[in-house]
């Protein structure tokens, strides 16, 4: 979205998820519950521009700037 000059927001990110999501298992309640959780995870990450940490997992360390020796 940012490459297109558009600011990500929940509505746009939700529409992006729906564009790539699939309805492989119709009328499957557990599937719909799982899909909605994945959708929310996707939208949260899309809006923030950062990956959302997986519940119970250790968050990755932030990258640190590298230094190079000048020659």
Q: Are 46 and 40 in contact (CB under 8 A)?
A: no
Q: Is the pTM of this model over 0.75?
A: no
* pLDDT tens readout for residues 49-68: 887 777 777 665 665 555 55
Alpha-carbon gap, residue 54 to 41, rounded angstroms: 9
Q: What is the mean pLDDT of the chain?
A: 77
Alpha-carbon gap, residue 35 to 20, rounded angstroms? 12
| pLDDT value of position 12 | 92
Q: Is the pLDDT of residue 71 over 50?
A: no
Dihedrals phi, psi of 43, to nearest 5 degrees? -60, -45
What are 9-23's pLDDT values in tens digits?
Answer: 999 999 988 888 776
Relative orientation angle of helices 29-48 and 10-20, to the nearest 10 degrees: 130
């Amino acid at each position: 979205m940012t490459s297109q000059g558009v600011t990500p927001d929940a509505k746009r990110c939700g529409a992006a998820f729906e564009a790539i999501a699939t309805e492989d298992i119709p009328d499957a309640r557990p599937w719909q519950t799982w899909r909605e959780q994945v959708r929310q995870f996707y939208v949260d990450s899309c809006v923030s521009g950062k990956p959302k940490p997986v519940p119970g997992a250790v968050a990755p360390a932030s990258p640190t700037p590298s230094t190079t020796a000048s020659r």
